[in-house]
Amino acid sequence: MSLMPITAIILAGGQSSRMNRQNKGLQLLHGNPLYYHVINKIKPQVNHIVINCNQDIEQYQKSGYPVIVDELIGFLGPLAGIFSGLITSSTDWNLVVSCDTPFLPDDLVKRLQAHCDTHLAAYVFDGEKSHPTLMLIHRQLAPMIKHYLLQGKRKLLGFLQQIDAIQVDFSDKPDVFININTLEQLAYWNQKQCK
């Protein structure tokens, strides 16, 4: 568990366009929904968990964790979910994770947290690409996110660059940040041994 209180915000509010509009977080991997695997990975690392979703709310409520919908209407992307999570959070620091990353590392929070003295947000870099939907972020950034969205901007990485967020190197663990974005990827991982 982290030394400072942290709320995890699981992003499950997308439209799942690459999953034939099937709710991504509810797709089964080895018999359990994808978001369930994410919860199991982050639960020991945080104090609270909330789930951001805009569809199939009752299904997510079965987890027993609070479910929040986007405050700003119109499916404005992950930043809208992050904003909604931050304004409802009871902790200054918040871990953002996407519902389609079931293999997250046990030291995700610890390694991101190491940069929180100097930055208001820290996100994952796996050695090849950035993962802006995997980050630790301070809730004082909520008004800036809202302003950014109301300007018509949507790009999460663009916002993080604008606020000088730090990219944290996880190149020693590239395989733990695999996203399951399509039904084909889901079938592949269902055939593999559970990690």
List the binding residues.
11-13, 24, 52, 70, 100
Residue numbers in the known binding site for GTP are 11-13, 24, 52, 70, 100
The span from the CA of 76 to the CA of 149, in Å, is 8
Beta-strand ranges (E) seen in the chain are 6-11, 28-29, 32-33, 48-52, 67-68, 93-98, 121-125, 130-138, 166-169
CB 124 within 8 A of CB 170: yes
CB 70 within 8 A of CB 52: yes
Residue numbers in the known binding site for Mg(2+) are 100
Residue 163 structure tokens: 């606020």
